[in-house]
Structure 1
């Protein structure tokens, strides 16, 4: 099969759930013997990089602004796929890019269109009224124009069933099993030491809730100054067209040497930051299925997370939930895990076993390939549509 992937910023993944999802999926699609083309944005992936893990990279420009980056790149990528690449499968990732998934119906009607619904983007605080309206149109296009639609969480499957009266396929985000060692040399530039910090790993956008965590951390240190005296908070991530919000976080943290904002990290440094954390906190208010939580669990880390339905799919039995936005309760959960290392280790061990069994990228790639093959068989008349 020739498969074109559209909607991601680029490869290799530097940050972002969709980019991680596409990288892990595409790498395994190639291993299955498929020809995979992934479209990249020239500001994210070097334009002269044309191959990665066997994946053919096609660099195209975009209008690199908050509102036009994704849609302008998706438009060019879709035209290129339909008119030049001419793949068997065109797979759109995200409801924003899916807004243009009608184009292959006209320019490449032989292609199978697969749309993946990653999250309810219009609920994210960074968007204004017009952008939210367009993202809602993207949801409708995602459902209407995909020959098959994938949702990455059971919460999203239910949302689509209730909102659009449509049955879709549940194929979640995933993890690769981790056995990384701590590395204080890689932590040293951030003035961190292994197991002497708690961490949050996310893009610094309002719905991820870093501001809530900073307030809760300060409150926890007020309540238990001796317990937390030598422990730090590391917030790992950077701006996603949200520079003013990042400035707000720096202002919140100013004057408190226990709070470290590392900026975006990837590769061995990011692995070291995960491996060295006492535990992870994920206080978001909106998600699809959070890869950051899955990855933290794959490192054997206990995770404190907000009790939104998407998070609860993962942490209800294998993590520590708190009421979304409740600073006081979050501070109490931080103190609870910081004061009981045995409990924290036990939760992390169970979490690792859970995600390795239920959320392995190999299984997710296999399910995606089966869906591709089924739809191609329907196209060829080998299977009947039920």
Structure 2
């Protein structure tokens, strides 16, 4: 079976969640006997044509020149190329800049799309952009033969909104067990004597609410903000909280071992995401034995259940910071249960098997309906 993976900047991962998904998935599928193509931006750091048995096809990507508009051109270039590849299945990771070209997909291939989160709900977008994203979402449904949801919340939304069935396949993670407290020395930290968050610095990730709570708690222990802060919103946050010396804007960290160790040794790990499905950073926090305090919404509760603390506003954040101690025995069961979820539900090997089964199932459906 020949699979093409579209919708990312490419592998190996230098960028984010869908790229990491494409990397793990492609490697795992090759090991299971699939032939796999992954599309990469022409300026991706990896320039070879094969990586770990995966065929890499580089397509021109003018995002570096045109910004967001360049993503649409890149996706068009990928779709035009995949028409020549005689693939059995095309897996699209996301739909935002590709679904307008859905009508160009090769007719002989089966198109299955991971519908990502509810992009049109993101507060950073204008009303016009939100309308476009909602339309693009509908096109993603229209031009896909099958749909994948990475959370039960997204699965329910697609059923209610479009009467569309989808296969639930979560994002994956790998249990972190190689903890090393030497990483803390680079940041002048002591184990379990700091709190943190990791996120894109965007309004819908509750960054301001969390930091309002940190300022209100007025504790001396450091609070790490990990994520690119060299943006207009980052500047706003740095200016607003400049008098709160415990808040440290670290910037982006892309070394997964460093991130996992920082998560592992934190007192409280805040997850403020309000939009989307199974968020990769949340699973990584669970896998890293973090005591998680999450924004109280359905997407987060579907994953964490009773094995986390929750906040709705800055007062909740401040109360948790003042009253919660990671080493308290009462929280150890939460940590244990979250690690069990990674092993039994979200482990990458299980997720890859679910994708492989999905591909076999949709091939069988096509054969039986022809």
* TM-score by shorter chain over 0.5: yes
Q: Deviations over 1:68-87 (max 9, x none)?
A: 2432221111111113x332
Contact 2:99 2:136 in 1 (8 A): yes
Matches within 5 A, 1:211-250: 211-221=208-218, 225=219, 229=220, 231-238=221-228, 243-250=231-238
Counterparts of 1:10 and 1:271 in 2: how far apart (Å)?
23
Aligned counterparts of 2:202 and 2:57: Cα–Cα separation in 1:
28
Partner of residue 276 from structure 1, selected from 242, 260, 265? 265
State the partner residue of 2:131: 133
Cα distance, 1:373 vs. partner? Answer: 1.5
Q: Is the 8 A contact 2:103 2:143 kept in 1?
A: no
Q: What is the CA distance between 1:66 and its match in structure 2?
A: 4.8
Measured in 2, the distance between the counterparts of 1:25 and 1:279 equals: 31
Superimposed CA distance per residue, residues 63-105 of structure 1 (whole angstroms, 9 cap, x where no aligned partner): 335532432221111111113x332211111131451462444
* Residue in 1 that maps onto 2:253: 265
Match of 2:7 in 1: 7
Match among 152, 160, 179 for residue 177 of structure 2: 179
1:301 maps to 2:301: no
Alignment correspondent of 2:358: 371
Which whole-Å CA distance do the structure 2 matches of 1:289 and 1:59 have between them? 28
Q: Separation in 2 of the partners of 1:24 and 1:312? A: 25
Is the Cα–Cα contact under 8 Å of residues 125 and 206 in structure 1 kept in the other structure?
Answer: yes
1:301–1:345 CA contact under 8 A, matched in 2? no
For 2:283 and 2:359, the matched residues in 1 are separated by 25
- The residue that corresponds to 2:78 in the other structure is 77
Q: How does 1:1-386 map to 2 (within 5 A)?
A: 1-42=1-42, 45-46=44-45, 48-60=47-59, 61-64=61-64, 65-83=66-84, 85-100=85-100, 102-105=102-105, 108-184=106-182, 186-221=183-218, 225=219, 229=220, 231-238=221-228, 243-267=231-255, 268-323=257-312, 326-338=313-325, 341-379=328-366, 381=367, 383-384=368-369
Alignment partners' CA distance in 2, 1:301 and 1:287: 21
8 Å contact kept, 1:177–1:356: yes
Secondary structure in structure 2 of the residue aligned to 1:68:
helix
TM-score by length of 2: 0.91
Structure 2, gaps ≥5 residues long: none
The answer to whether the Cα contact below 8 Å between 2:260 and 2:284 also exists between their aligned partners in 1 is no
Could you tell me how far 1:15 is from its partner in structure 2?
A: 4.3
Give deviations 1:91-123, integer Å, cap 9, x for gaps: 111131451462444xx2111101111100011
Q: How far apart, in 1, do the equivalents of 2:264 and 2:50 lie?
A: 30
Secondary structure (helix, strand or coil) at the match of 2:45 reads coil
Q: Distance between the aligned counterparts of 1:213 and 1:49, measured in 2?
A: 43
Q: In angstroms, what is the RMSD of aligned CA positions? A: 2.2
Q: Secondary structure of the residue that 2:225 maps to in structure 1?
A: strand
SS in 2 for 1:96: coil
TM-score norm. by structure 1 comes to 0.88
Query: 1:294-352 deviations in whole A, cap 9, x for unaligned?
Result: 111111112110111111101222111222xx111121122232376323333212211
1:180, 1:275 within 8 Å by CA — same for their partners in 2?
Answer: no
Q: Which moved more, 1:52-61 or 1:18-27?
A: 52-61
- Seen in structure 2, the aligned counterparts of structure 1 residues 191 and 257 have a Cα distance that, compared at 3 Å, is farther
Is the Cα–Cα contact under 8 Å of residues 91 and 111 in structure 2 kept in the other structure? yes
